[in-house]
Chain A
Amino acid sequence: MSKLKVATVWLDGCSGCHMSFLDMDERLLELAELIDVVYSPIVDAKEFPDEVDIALVEGAVASVDDEKKIKKVRAHSKMLIAMGDCAVAGNVPSMRNPFGPEAILDRAYIQNATIQQQIPCVVVPKLLKVVRPIHEFVKVDVFLPGCPPSADTFHAALTALVTGEPLDIPALTRFGA
């Protein structure tokens, strides 16, 4: 059996899910027998591959770039997993929603800045008005809530998905876990 091509993607999140993913520690070696990580913030590939079997997405959709990325990921992935509460529900990034992006930018770059008070407009992507979970933009196949989902959750879920075993997510994790 050829190895499954797995990608991990980082949108608006704290990277905690990726950290938790790495917390699988030695079990990553077992997994490496079954999967190839072809794209990830922690590997060298810069372009999302044309065909990926499983894409794990961390983070909510908060900027124009995020939206472009998630659509691209969906288009090139057979299975898309929303990894962690930000991807599943918006979570901490969405806490700005009641106030709007202007208020947040103002607080961060004007009110709280001691020098060079200005809102950045080059290089950084433009923010969407509302931060939303990824399933509001693309179809999501598996939802793995948790902040972050534990290493055990990742291990159990990935093993089940790779081997085709049944997967009972509510037994593994929950919002805020």
Chain B
Amino acid sequence: MTIEELEQIAQSVSQENAKFDFEVNVCMDLACASQGAEKLRDALVKSAEAQGKNVLIRRTGCMGPCSSGPLVRVDPDDVLYKRVKSDNAEAIVSSLGGEPVPELQCDLSDHFDKQVRVVLENAGHIDPEKIDDYIAHDGYKALLTALTEMTPNGVVHRITESGLRGRGGGGYPTGLKWGTVAKAGGDMKYVVCNGDEGDPGAFMDRSVMEGDPHRVIEGMALAAYAVGASKGFIYVRAEYPVAVARLTTGIREARRRGLLGTGICGTTFSFDIEIRLGAGAFVCGEETALLASIEGKRGTPKPRPPYPAVSGLFGKPTLINNVETYANIAPIVRNGGKWFANMGSDRSKGTKVFALTGKITHTGLVEVPMGIKLREIIEVIGGGVPDGHTLKAVQTGGPSGGCIPAEMLDLGVSYDALMKVGSIMGSGGMIVMDDTSCMVNVARFFIEFCMTESCGKCIPCRAGTAQMHTLLTRICEGRGTMEELDLLVDLCGTIKETSLCGLGQTAPNPVLSTLKYFKNEYIEHIVNKRCPAGVCNIEAAVPAVPTEVLA
């Protein structure tokens, strides 16, 4: 494969597409698929045949506003239809070339206008199972350019220049990490992609892997070239069967096109990727646990140092990045580090994909420039809190993150700003809570998650999260005391400072941040035996006789 061949493929795809009068893109991502997108597509194909129209009906990845699904976009007019049923297929096909179907049409310009799409640039525009579609959208151009025109160091430099930071949660500067692995000695190095997305309410990585798998493969190949690795692993949770299937197809297609394998693009660079399935353990998102799992061992973390960059998979230097981080690589290499660094805020460059969930009008996937105000994400892009309720807090960073109260909505979203208010960027889950949420109960939910997902290796996380859960349950049931609240805070401190890995170290965050901003709710539960949001059923839990007497 050469750049010329790549361009030929791109040209033939556009020629092929030009044969059609219209393009109807049907979102086939999980949310839309579960609401009958597959049937809808079949109906569209049938209607097009029946009406004799020359229509390209394409299955695409996630378009974003999942709550309005199944979504259909008609090009070249760029008309978006929401909640389309297979019964509507005929009307849509009939409307082609004429006026759009009014009752299905949706205007989500507010939702889309504030977004900047880098990672999701192809999502909703290409068929994820067709490598040629990806190539037609500048796919693999970055890889071939790098292989033929750039030194590995040059690639690392470009990533460093971009200011990209790890999108998996930690926010470690990606260029620095690549540089460390590149400098590490040894003849064997590995590149690993962390697709073990497990935060409740997060589905960014799934959508990327499902909607644009080649972007991840290309990012990994670029990384391998930059750090001198020849073997890659994508670690995906088995609960993402579609992502696994798309990646498998993607890897096969890339091999067939000579974009993976030996002597890529006629150079001496060889690289291939294998997929490893995770068995649904949240802790395997932690890098050392993930590597242990790839090695076939029990997925438990190891103390660092040594860092994986020095001694990782099978004891070899290993570069490990998250799906979204790899998804950013190709555009950066293509457009230059400065292009990327121009987006975003001071120390957080580029864009970030968020999965908006909870009490918000447009749940779904959004990509915004770093530094954007939380208010814009929630009120403009997300369409605000529905049903006349008021916003109470936004939870970011999943079980490792914290709750940001409504008063702080003017906060610019960046790694440092979120950290400062007691939350973290995390992988990008954003759960919106309104006045019907009890913050003590929310904290308990996340602690319960950490408790069940703790690997059990170190004591503070294993036994500590279980104790926190007990204490929080007592508070929720109106049986807690102020002394126990102090004990809870104490416990948070120990778990945070002494746990072996990030899971334990961040597990107390939901409690600490809700205590910081919503302490009154805790006190209401403890002192007045009342749940202000009316979520916890205290009356039922507290018996009339205060002690549990054996009947």
**A and B found bound together:** yes
B15 within 8 A of A: no
B540 on the A face (CB < 8 A): no
Are B548 and A64 neighbours in the complex by a CB distance under 8 Å? no
A102 and B550: CB pair below 8 A? yes
List A residues 61-105 near B (Cβ within 8 Å): 64, 67, 101-102
Q: Is the CB of A67 within 8 A of B547?
A: yes
B480 to chain A, nearest CB (A): 13
A129 to B549, CA, bound (A): 7
Count residues on chain B whose CB falls below 8 Å from chain A CBs: 4
A127 at the interface (CB under 8 A from B): yes
Q: How far is the CA of A25 from the CA of B547 in the complex (A)?
A: 40
Q: Is the CB of A126 within 8 A of B549?
A: yes
Query: A102: nearest residue on chain B (CB-CB)?
Result: B550
How many A residues touch B, CB cutoff 8 Å?
A: 9
Interface string of A108-137 (1 = CB under 8 A from B): 000000000000000000111110000000
Residues in chain A near residue B548, CB distance under 8 A: 128-130
Give B493-551 interface residues, CB cut-off 8 Å to A: 547-550
Restricting to A29-71, which residues have a CB under 8 Å from any CB of B? 64, 67
What's the minimum C-beta distance from A12 to chain B, rounded to whole angstroms? 14
CA distance A67 to B550 in the complex (A): 13
For the complex, what is the distance from the CA of A64 to the CA of B547, rounded to whole Å?
Answer: 8
Tell me how far the C-beta of A105 lies from the nearest C-beta in chain B, rounded to whole angstroms: 9
Which residues of chain B are within 8 angstroms of A130 by Cβ–Cβ distance? 548
Question: Nearest chain B CB to A89's CB is how many angstroms away?
Answer: 16
Residues of B within 8 A of A127 (CB): 550
In the bound complex, CA of A67 to CA of B549 (Å): 11
Contacts of A126 in B (CB 8 A): 549-550
* Bound-complex Cα distance A177 to B462 (A): 28
- Which residues of the partner chain A approach B550 to less than 8 Å between Cβ atoms? 101-102, 126-129
Which residues of B have CB within 8 Å of A128? Answer: 547-550
How far apart are the CA atoms of A126 and B547 in the complex, in Å?
Answer: 11
CA distance A63 to B423 in the complex (A): 45
CB distance from A143 to the nearest CB of B (A): 16
Note all chain A residues with C-beta closer than 8 A to B547. 64, 67, 128
B517 to chain A, nearest CB (A): 30
A-chain residues with CB within 8 Å of residue B549 when the two chains form the complex: 64, 126, 128
Distance in angstroms from A164 CB to nearest chain B CB is 27
A143 to B547, CA, bound (A): 24
Shortest B357–chain A CB gap in Å is 39
A91 to B550, CA, bound (A): 21
A64 to B549, alpha carbons, bound, how many Å? 7
User: Of all chain B residues, which has the CB nearest A127?
Assistant: B550
8 A Cβ contacts from B313-354 to A: none
Cβ-closest chain A residue relative to B545 = A64
How far is the CB of B473 from the nearest CB of chain A, in Å? 15
Measured between alpha carbons, how far is A67 from B546 in the docked complex, in Å? 11
A64 to B551, CA, bound (A): 12
Nearest residue, chain A, Cβ from B548 = A129
Give the Cβ gap from A11 to chain B, nearest Cβ, in Å: 15
- State in angstroms the CA–CA spacing of A57 and B478 once bound together: 29
**Complex-state Cα separation, A127 to B548, whole angstroms:** 9
The complex places the Cα of A102 from the Cα of B550 at a distance, in Å, of 8
A130 → chain B closest CB, angstroms:
7
CA distance A64 to B546 in the complex (A): 11
| Least Cβ–Cβ distance between B421 and chain A, in angstroms | 36
Nearest CB of B to A25, in Å? 39
Closest to A130 in B: B548
A172-B547 Cα distance, complex, nearest whole Å: 35
Q: How far is the CB of B16 from chain A (nearest CB, A)?
A: 69
Query: CA A131 – CA B547 in complex, angstroms?
Result: 12
A26 to chain B, nearest CB (A): 41
B residues in contact with A67, CB < 8 Å: 547
Q: Shortest beta-carbon distance, A100 to chain B, in Å? A: 9
Question: Would you give the shortest CB distance from B499 to chain A, in whole angstroms?
Answer: 25
Identify the closest chain B residue to A135 (Cβ).
B483
- In the assembled complex, the CB of B287 is this many whole angstroms from the nearest CB of chain A, namely 38
Question: In the complex, how many angstroms separate the beta carbon of B482 from the nearest chain A beta carbon?
Answer: 12
Give the CA-CA distance A128 to B547 in the complex, in Å: 8
In the bound complex, CA of A101 to CA of B547 (Å): 15
Instruction: Give Cα A101–Cα B548 distance, bound, in whole angstroms.
Output: 12
Whole-angstrom CA separation of A127 from B547 in the bound complex: 11
Nearest CB of A to B430, in Å: 40
CB distance from A63 to the nearest CB of B (A): 9
A67 to B545, alpha carbons, bound, how many Å? 13
In the docked arrangement, what's the CA distance between A142 and B548, Å? 27
Q: How far is the CB of B186 from chain A (nearest CB, A)?
A: 50
Roughly how many angstroms separate A86 CA and B548 CA in the complex, as a whole number? 20
Across-interface contacts of A102 in B (CB, < 8 A): 550
Q: How far is the CB of A39 from chain B (nearest CB, A)?
A: 24
Cα distance A64–B550 in the bound complex, in angstroms: 9
Distance in Å: Cβ of A109 to nearest Cβ of chain B: 14
- Distance in angstroms from B541 CB to nearest chain A CB is 15
Q: State the CA gap A126–B551 with chains docked (Å).
A: 8
Q: A102 → chain B, closest Cβ, in Å?
A: 7
Closest to B484 in A: A136
| 15 A-B contacts (beta carbon < 8 Å) | A64-B547, A64-B549, A67-B547, A101-B550, A102-B550, A126-B549, A126-B550, A127-B550, A128-B547, A128-B548, A128-B549, A128-B550, A129-B548, A129-B550, A130-B548
Instruction: For the A-B complex with A64-B547, A101-B550, A130-B548 known, give 8 more contacts whose Cβ atoms are closer than 8 Å.
Output: A64-B549, A102-B550, A127-B550, A128-B547, A128-B549, A128-B550, A129-B548, A129-B550
Give 3 closest A-B pairs by Cβ, nearest first: A129-B548, A127-B550, A101-B550
List the interface of chain A (C-beta within 8 A of B).
64, 67, 101-102, 126-130
The interface of chain B, by Cβ under 8 A from chain A, is 547-550
